Chains A and B, each alone.
Chain A
Amino acid sequence: MTHYHPSVEMLTDYAAGSLPLTHALCVSTHIEHCHECQQQLRKLEILGSHLFDDVPTEPRRLDDLKQNLLSKLRKSDRVSDNSHPKESTESKLDAFLEDYSVPKSLRQFVKKSYDQLSWTRLSPSFKIATLYNEEGGAQVALTRVKAGAHMPSHTHTGDEITLVLEGAFSDEAGIYRKGDFIQRGANHKHKPIVTKDAECICLTVLDAPIEFTGWFTRLLNPLIRRHHPFTRAEG
């Protein structure tokens, strides 16, 4: 049972299509398994369709556009005579072979399994794999922490979204389980601990690099920075 959801503002922007892609990746991954947000999204899309239906249109001759479209369709129908493209069975098979099922929205980055990603070990119990660094923007990564381990204490310099993919962790404010969506503002300092029963894999989006705050973990900051676009060497 999911207890932490994206805010209604974020869901609205998602339904409207204006949410940045990095954030949409997290929302979409959450929604895949959250019935409550699916319902809300459905209604937000109905709202969008009414606004769309009422949009004032301007008179304009569209004959050229129409003819162009129809000739395009005739050509494409001639090329591919099967009008109902077959579903690829490959992705289903991949999902079946692994221990964890990778959410559909992440398959673009996680082709087969989490194990095959290139993980960087930052401590004996903490690993990170960068999925995507947006140019001049956010970082999307997976973190993997062993059962019962402390995640390094850190402060964000920007917003952070965390989505629990597998396992669970807790901090001062509560316990977060599979599917939970947690958004934290800048300068939020916290000390998450993974629950004892299983390892924890999370999807995270950072608007700016995190800074580790302990004396030992301070050594990690250069490593993290190397994995973040803001500090990555040019070229």
Chain B
Amino acid sequence: MEPALQQQADEQRVLDIIAIAQHRDQEALVRLFDYYVPKIRAFCLAKQPGANLMADDIAQEVMIRVWNKAHTYQKESASLNTWIFTVARNARIDYLRKNSRHQSDIDPENLWQDVVDENADPFKDMQHHRDQKRIKEGLDKLPQEQKQVLSKVYLEGKTHQEASEELSLPLGTIKSRIRLALHKLTIYIKR
């Protein structure tokens, strides 16, 4: 999609989430459903290929959370994509916890907050846009091998160890590819 059209579509979705928060606009929810549900399902299937029922359950749960928590979304502190990503990530963690053989008592709800920024200010907004843009542009330029490892970790939800086994690469190589990528994206600054 052209950048101008892309931006217009992004802005429309922000209007949609506001419409849901302010007057329970179901049509707005349907538009968000059409855009996000295929992505959420793909995000779940990346973790467990073929698990269509799980993908449907999680996608539905995410849309319920969007419906109920729309009023907590603040455009000053995160893009809508980032917000939905964190909601989907949290729903996936929750689902896997409840359906795993060794069910954990630790409630992930307390550990992974959906991005909420209590003191959003205009400077942060600018900063956020800058980071957003820088990371997007950086990601497009990353070598395929670094992008592949990032996808393993983020989309497939693999630990570094699991990524190393699947790609038949030493753990050290996985770590250094991720560090290199994060460094290029200016996320990781050596302390």
**What residues of chain A have their CB less than 8 Å away from a CB belonging to chain B?**
5, 8-9, 12-19, 21-22, 24-25, 27-28, 40, 42-53, 55-58, 60, 62, 65-66, 68-70, 72-73, 76-77, 83-85, 104-105, 107-108, 132, 134-137, 140
Contacts and interface: CB of A to CB of B under 8 A. Distances in A.
B121 interface: no
B26 to A, nearest CB: 7
Contacts of A56: 42
Contact of A18 (B90, B97, B128, B159): B159
Contact of B159 (A13, A22, A48): A13
Contacts of B29: 70, 73
B106 A21 contact: yes
Nearest to B133: A46
Given A9-B175, A69-B33, A134-B102, 8 more contacts: A12-B178, A12-B182, A13-B159, A24-B111, A44-B182, A46-B131, A47-B187, A66-B37
B41 A57 contact: yes
A73 B97 CA distance: 24
Q: Closest 9 interchain pairs by CB?
A: A49-B85, A57-B38, A49-B82, A21-B106, A17-B89, A28-B111, A43-B187, A18-B157, A49-B81
Contact of A5 (B68, B89, B108, B191): B191
A51 B46 CA distance: 12
B42 A48 contact: no
Contacts of B68: 83, 85
22 contacts: A9-B175, A16-B154, A17-B92, A17-B157, A21-B108, A40-B187, A40-B188, A44-B187, A45-B82, A46-B79, A47-B139, A49-B81, A50-B139, A52-B84, A52-B85, A58-B45, A62-B33, A62-B37, A65-B37, A73-B67, A77-B24, A83-B24
